[in-house]
């Protein structure tokens, strides 16, 4: 654990990419093989399940320290992180305790797994015993792991690059090897990362190729005939895999979704063997009279996400389909290095052959010049899309986010002006600043809250708003402060949906602060009627036929 805690400390405090990369390389070069496997698992999203809830950890900590509950909560609100708060409050172990036997990272994590179904008393004994033998940095890491909320400032791409330099295997091979459905308890480090080793995991997806946002004028990309244009659909990026007479559906977040969408069951019999298709999991309306698919808003797909049991009503109201973008494997062969236009021809033939209402190829946008494409992009919302994707026709399918060949040209977000009414302190480096805000619109003489946002401002602007909140707080509800409704912000968002869970009756998709409207007064903000009108307009035009 000491090695891993030291690594986490460097990754969490360093601001330089090269320092983080070097720390990862040093760790992978020196750590025990079982610990290295677990670090790969943790940094690729395979964290162990939470075995103790936050309330129990708080109670055990206050019992040891003698702090009252209210004082613990004040400390928690100041620090902004439960694991760090407990690590700071607990006494440091004696020199004798620290000098005792040091356990490995894998020992702790595999003990978590063994204790998952044990009684509370056994878990309590284990946790308190660990607290007594770990130093402050180790306790912080231990707490983060045991709550299942471990996140650190390192991307999977950085970890892949560090592994590549350590084991001398190309990053693309490593990215593929660590994807899919593998168990860190039983997996051997050398076999996982071997370039020549074989894997019996037929479900393994390929690393996704991601586009950069287009910020320059599209004509700067050169001849439009060298580019493939298609709609950018609003769903969940995924891969459909048919291997060994089995079907697998993976999300970009490496969640296996095969059983969650029964509409995909038909693909098993229809798709040829040795096939991997990249595309979008999306909710589609399928009008019987036309047979043409129509994208539904993302909110329709949300009603299906996370549900274990799907009712007939849900299948009818939010049917799920797949819009195919690209072909990555054909007849069992990796074809990612084949030019896009050739992969596309193979994909078109497959989709045309199976003719199934739940899978469609993403239609191309055919125009002769950039001006025509700019005009077409304006109709994105009418098509139920977020904008346009531009892909170089001769591009290969790369790993991760790369500049040059794939660009996303999104439409401008929806916006509404609102006033700040509640504020809460942030987390991590923002734990001492009020950076998490709740906003309201007008409804007659009242203010109605409708969304939260915590991104979009500069550090200087956050500091200014924080100072305002501290000077103008009206009431305190735990960590939340009610503030004078004086600061107006333009809130940008990608979509809007009706919601019974919110006072306003609406929920926004990806809300953030796009501008601090210091030129506007609170009585100039938008109204609840404006929101409802926007909701009606969005859902009238948000889904168009293709």
CATH number for the domain harbouring residue 389: 3.30.470.30
pLDDT of residue 544: 32
540: confidence class by pLDDT, cuts 50, 70, 90: low
Q: Is 428 left (phi over 0), alpha (psi -120 to 50) or beta?
A: left
> pLDDT at residue 198 above 50?
no
Question: Of the given ranges (22-31, 117-126, 195-204, 315-324), which has the lowest mean pLDDT?
Answer: 195-204
Residues in the chain: 546
> pLDDT at residue 311 above 60?
yes
Q: Is 222 left (phi over 0), alpha (psi -120 to 50) or beta?
A: left
- When pLDDT is averaged across residues 463-488 and rounded to a whole number, the result is 92
> pLDDT at residue 229 above 90?
yes
As given in the structure block, the two tokens for residue 176 are: 């593929």
Closest CA to 470 of 457, 458, 484, 459: 484
> pLDDT at residue 325 above 90?
yes
Q: Which pTM does this prediction carry?
A: 0.72
pLDDT of residue 273: 93
> pLDDT at residue 405 above 90?
yes
* CB-CB contact of 384 with 193 (8 Å): no
Map 33-50 to HEC letters.
Answer: HHHHHHHHHHHCCCCCCC
Asked if 468 and 398 sit in the same domain, the reply is: no
Higher pLDDT, residue 323 or 495: 323
Asked if 405 and 435 sit in the same domain, the reply is: no
As given in the structure block, the two tokens for residue 503 are: 């006072």
pLDDT of residue 522: 94
Asked if 470 and 384 sit in the same domain, the reply is: no
CATH number for the domain harbouring residue 499: 2.40.50.140
> pLDDT at residue 542 above 50?
no
Q: Which residues pair with 440 in a beta bridge?
A: 419, 449
Cβ atoms within 10 Å, residue 265: 12
* CB-CB contact of 469 with 481 (8 Å): yes
In whole angstroms, give the CA distance from residue 76 to residue 304.
35
* CB-CB contact of 358 with 518 (8 Å): no
125 Cβ neighbours under 8 A, 6+ residues apart: none
Asked if 388 and 454 sit in the same domain, the reply is: no
Domain assignment of residue 203, yes or no:
no
pLDDT of residue 146: 86
180 Cβ neighbours under 8 A, 6+ residues apart: 199, 201, 203, 204, 205, 250, 254
Domain assignment of residue 532, yes or no:
yes
Asked if 449 and 371 sit in the same domain, the reply is: no
Among 410, 429, 451, the domain boundary falls at 410
- When pLDDT is averaged across residues 191-211 and rounded to a whole number, the result is 76
Summarize pLDDT for 370-393 with one digit per residue, the tens.
999 999 999 888 888 899 999 999
Summarize pLDDT for 461-470 with one digit per residue, the tens.
999 999 999 9
Domain assignment of residue 343, yes or no:
yes
Higher pLDDT, residue 196 or 509: 509
pLDDT of residue 314: 80
Percent of the chain with pLDDT over 70: 93
Among 357, 386, 410, the domain boundary falls at 410
In whole angstroms, give the CA distance from residue 456 to residue 517.
13
In whole angstroms, give the CA distance from residue 466 to residue 428.
16
> pLDDT at residue 546 above 50?
no
State the angle between helix axes of 17-30 and 2-13 in degrees (0 to 180), rounded to the nearest 10.
170
Summarize pLDDT for 64-102 with one digit per residue, the tens.
999 999 999 888 887 878 888 999 999 988 766 555 567
In whole angstroms, give the CA distance from residue 371 to residue 212.
21
Domain assignment of residue 204, yes or no:
no
* CB-CB contact of 510 with 494 (8 Å): yes
User: Range of 379's domain?
Assistant: 209-410
Catalytic residue among 232, 242, 260, 391: 232
Domain assignment of residue 537, yes or no:
yes
DSSP secondary structure letter of residue 430: G
Domain assignment of residue 186, yes or no:
no
Asked if 246 and 382 sit in the same domain, the reply is: yes
In whole angstroms, give the CA distance from residue 419 to residue 424.
15
459 Cβ neighbours under 8 A, 6+ residues apart: none
- When pLDDT is averaged across residues 264-269 and rounded to a whole number, the result is 90
Asked if 268 and 359 sit in the same domain, the reply is: yes
Q: Is 216 helix (H, G, I), strand (E, B) or coil?
A: coil
Half-sphere exposure of 474 (CA within 13 A, CB side): 9
pLDDT of residue 511: 94
Q: Rounded to the nearest 10 degrees, how much is the dihedral formed by the CA atoms of 302, 306, 308, 310?
A: 0
In whole angstroms, give the CA distance from residue 322 to residue 358.
6
CATH number for the domain harbouring residue 89: 1.10.3260.10
Verify whether residue 232 is a known catalytic residue.
yes
In whole angstroms, give the CA distance from residue 94 to residue 96.
5
pLDDT of residue 543: 40
Domain assignment of residue 272, yes or no:
yes
How many domains, in total, are found in the chain? Answer: 3
Asked if 265 and 405 sit in the same domain, the reply is: yes
Q: Is 321 helix (H, G, I), strand (E, B) or coil?
A: strand
Asked if 443 and 403 sit in the same domain, the reply is: no
Asked if 234 and 343 sit in the same domain, the reply is: yes
Among 103, 129, 146, the domain boundary falls at 146
Asked if 432 and 380 sit in the same domain, the reply is: no
* CB-CB contact of 241 with 249 (8 Å): yes
Summarize pLDDT for 108-149 with one digit per residue, the tens.
999 988 898 899 999 999 999 999 889 999 998 898 888 876
Asked if 479 and 492 sit in the same domain, the reply is: yes
pLDDT of residue 501: 82
Domain assignment of residue 154, yes or no:
no
Q: Is 275 helix (H, G, I), strand (E, B) or coil?
A: strand
In whole angstroms, give the CA distance from residue 543 to residue 541.
6
């Amino acid at each position: 654990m000491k090695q891993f805690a030291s690594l986490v400390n460097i990754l969490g405090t360093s601001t330089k990419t090269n320092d983080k990369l070097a720390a990862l390389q040093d760790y992978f070069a020196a750590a025990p093989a079982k610990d290295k496997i677990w670090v790969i698992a943790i940094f690729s999203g395979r964290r162990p399940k939470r075995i103790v809830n936050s309330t129990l950890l708080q109670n055990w900590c206050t019992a040891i320290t003698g702090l009252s509950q209210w004082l613990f909560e004040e400390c928690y609100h100041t620090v902004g992180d439960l694991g760090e708060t407990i690590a700071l409050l607990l006494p440091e172990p004696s020199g004798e305790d620290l000098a005792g036997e040091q356990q490995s990272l894998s020992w702790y994590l595999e003990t978590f797994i063994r204790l998952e179904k044990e009684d509370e008393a056994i878990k309590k004994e284990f946790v308190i015993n660990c607290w007594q033998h770990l130093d402050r940095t180790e306790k912080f890491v231990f707490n983060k792991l045991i709550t299942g909320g471990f996140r650190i400032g390192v991307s999977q791409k950085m970890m892949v690059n560090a592994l590549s330099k350590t084991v001398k295997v190309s990053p693309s091979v490593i990215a593929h090897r660590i994807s899919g459905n593998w168990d860190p308890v039983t997996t051997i480090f050398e076999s996982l990362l071997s370039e020549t080793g074989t894997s019996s995991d037929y479900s393994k997806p390929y690393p996704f190729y991601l586009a950069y946002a287009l910020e320059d004028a599209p004509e700067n990309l050169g001849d439009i005939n060298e580019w493939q244009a298609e709609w950018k659909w609003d769903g969940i990026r995924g891969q459909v895999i048919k291997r060994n007479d089995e079907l697998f559906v993976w999300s970009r977040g490496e969640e296996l979704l095969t059983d969650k969408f029964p509409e995909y069951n038909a693909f098993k019999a229809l798709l040829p063997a040795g096939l991997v298709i990249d595309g979008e999991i999306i909710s589609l309306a399928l009008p019987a009279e036309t047979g043409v698919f129509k994208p539904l808003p993302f909110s329709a797909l949300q009603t299906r996400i996370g549900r274990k049991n799907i009712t007939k009503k849900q299948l009818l109201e939010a049917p799920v389909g797949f819009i195919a973008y690209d072909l990555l494997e054909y007849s069992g062969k990796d074809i990612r290095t084949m030019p896009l236009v050739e992969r596309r021809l193979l994909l078109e033939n497959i989709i045309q052959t199976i003719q199934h209402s739940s899978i469609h190829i993403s239609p191309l946008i055919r125009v002769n010049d950039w001006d025509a494409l700019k005009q077409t992009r304006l109709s994105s919302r009418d098509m139920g899309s977020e904008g346009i994707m531009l892909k170089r026709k001769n591009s290969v399918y790369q790993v991760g986010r790369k500049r040059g060949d794939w660009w996303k040209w999104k439409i401008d977000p929806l916006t509404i002006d609102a006033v700040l009414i509640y504020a809460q302190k942030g987390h991590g480096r923002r734990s001492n600043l009020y950076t998490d805000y709740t906003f309201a619109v007008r409804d007659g003489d009242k203010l109605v809250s409708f969304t939260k946002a915590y991104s979009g401002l500069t550090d200087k602007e956050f500091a200014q708003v924080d100072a305002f909140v501290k000077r103008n707080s009206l009431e305190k509800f735990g960590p939340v402060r009610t503030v004078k409704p004086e600061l107006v912000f333009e809130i940008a968002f990608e979509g809007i949906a009706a919601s019974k869970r919110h006072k306003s009756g609406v929920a926004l998709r990806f809300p953030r602060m796009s501008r601090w409207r210091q030129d506007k007064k609170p009585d100039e903000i938008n109204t609840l009627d404006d929101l409802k009108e926007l909701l009606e307009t969005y859902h009238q035009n948000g889904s168009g036929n293709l």
